[in-house]
Amino acid sequence: MKRRTPGTNLTQGIVHDLGVAIVTGVYDVPGSFPVEAELCRRYGASRTVLREAVKMLTAKGMLRARARHGTWVQPEESWSLLDPDVLSWLLERPGTPELLLEFAIARLAIEPAAAALAARVATPRARAAVQAAVDRMAAAERTADDALEPDIAFHMEVLRASGNRFFFQLRELIATTLRFSIRETNRSKGVPGANVADHRAIADAISAGRPQAAERATRRLVQETVELIRARLPASASRPPARPRAPARPRPRPKPLSSPRRQSSSRRRPRTAR
């Protein structure tokens, strides 16, 4: 029987264990996913619990099950990358910088816009929460505490201050990725924590109601992350994919030269003079 992950119930533990196994290629061979009876024995779970776990993984696009046909792993392009669980499992496997780069580029489309919107519409209470978050980052830096959680909390407060429910719905997804990318980028820069001054520039612009300044400061911060991650990739992986060339249009065939028409026998011959 496998040992349950602390702080989770049995169903969640099975989902996590199978999810990590799927993304790390344990069941890449077709037909290698265990049958229900074997999984029940492995986890000491009832069929009801096991089926609930499989249903959750199916909803994440990782499994597909059919009655009397069994259960099999879906191809990676079917997995829900917007699911924080799936994303965290993917980030735990080797070779994550490429995935981090893709998400950092996606952040460039989200966070600067959210910061600009926060500068326009944030309530006084929301602006104060953003300032309090950057103050906690500064306090962690002074006391040599782990600055990871205050850093993530700052980004979450900016999303909240935007007042846009769709931006705020992305908080778990962004927080999941930040837990990995912040450590990687700080290690690349050789510093224990984030640059508080860069984050304070965002907070001050939001508090002052300056959307363009908030957008620029956020874009500069995220762009630095993109460049640090890109620097860790092989040259071939860090280059944007080449644009596919349009297929060459076939050249029209030259028309065959037509032979001179023969004179019709019915054509009247010119009269000869008599």
The dihedral sign for the CA sequence 171, 172, 175, 181: negative
Residue 212 burial (C-beta neighbours within 10 Å; 0-12, 13-18, 19+): exposed
pLDDT score for 138: 92
Residue ranges and CATH numbers for the domains of the chain are 10-78 (1.10.10.10), 95-236 (1.20.120.530)
Q: What is the largest CA-CA distance in the chain?
A: 129
Region of 163 on the Ramachandran plot (φ > 0 left; ψ -120 to 50 alpha; else beta): left
The span from the CA of 225 to the CA of 207, in Å, is 24
Interhelix angle 171-189/97-121, rounded to 10 degrees, is: 120
Where are any strands of DSSP class E within the chain? Answer: 63-66, 70-73
Question: Can you state the angle between helices 97-121 and 84-92, rounded to 10 degrees?
Answer: 140
Model pTM above 0.75: no
Per-residue model confidence as pLDDT tens for the chain (274 residues): 555 554 458 999 999 999 999 999 999 888 889 999 999 999 999 999 999 999 999 999 999 988 777 899 999 999 998 899 999 999 888 767 888 899 999 999 999 999 999 999 999 999 999 999 999 999 988 776 678 899 999 999 999 999 999 999 999 989 988 988 888 787 777 666 678 999 999 999 999 999 999 999 999 999 999 998 898 877 645 444 444 444 445 455 555 555 555 544 445 555 555 4
